[in-house]
Amino acid sequence: MFLRVVAAAALLFAPLYAQAPAKTEAPAEALPDARDLINRHVKAIGGREAVLAHKSMHAVGTLSVSRQGISGPIEMFGATGPDRVVVKTTVQGIGEILEGFDGSHAWSVSPMTGPMLKVGKELAQTRLDADFYSELRDPAKYKAVKTVEKTTFDGRPCYKVALSRIDGSEDFDFYDAATGLRAGSINTRESPMGAMTVTSTDTSYKKFGNLLQATSVTQQVMGVEQTITLTSVEFDNVDPAVFQPPAPIKALIK
Partner 1 sequence: MAVLALLFGWGVAAAETFRAAETFDAVWTIVRESHFDPAFDRAQWDRARDELRPKAVGARTPGEFRAVVAELLGRLGLSHFAVIPGAPDGPSDSSDLGAQPGFDVRLIGRQLVVTRVDPDGPAAAAGVRAGWILDRVGAVQMSGLLGGIAESTPPRIAQLEAWKIAITRLRGPAHSALDATFTDGSGTAVTKHIERRFERGEPVTVGSLPTMFVRVSSSLVPTPHGAHAGVIGFNVWMTAVDREFQLAIDRFRRADGIVIDLRGNPGGLAAMIMGLSGHFFSEPATLGVMTTKGAQSLRFNANPRLVNAAGERVDAYGGPVAILVDGLTGSASECFTGGMQSLGRARVFGQTSMGQALPALFDRLPNGDVLIHAWGDFVTGTGVRIEGRGVVPDEPVDLTRDALLAGHDLPLERALAWIDGARASATKGGKF
Residues that bind partner 1 (CB under 8 A): 12-18, 65, 67-70, 91-95, 110-116, 192-194, 196, 222-224, 247-248, 250-252, 254
- Residue pair 229/62 in contact (Cβ under 8 Å)? The answer is yes
d(CA 149, CA 147): 6
Q: Which residues pair with 187 in a beta bridge?
A: 198
Q: How far is the CB of 185 from partner 1 (least distance, A)?
A: 19
Q: Closer CB to partner 1, residue 56 or residue 200?
A: 200
Q: Minimum distance between the CB of residue 27 and partner 1, rounded to whole angstroms?
A: 28
Q: Which is nearer to partner 1, 11 or 42 (CB)?
A: 11
Cα–Cα dist 91/195, whole Å = 24
**98: which strand partners?**
88, 109
Longest dimension (CA), the chain: 58
Separation between Cα atoms, residue 5 and residue 85, nearest integer Å: 8
Question: Nearest distance from residue 47's CB to partner 1, in Å?
Answer: 39
Judged by beta carbon, residue 71 or residue 179, the one nearer partner 1 is 71
Name the residue nearer to partner 1 (CB basis): 191 or 210. 191
What is the smallest separation between the CB atom of 246 and partner 1, expressed in angstroms? Answer: 9
Tell me 244's DSSP state.
Answer: S
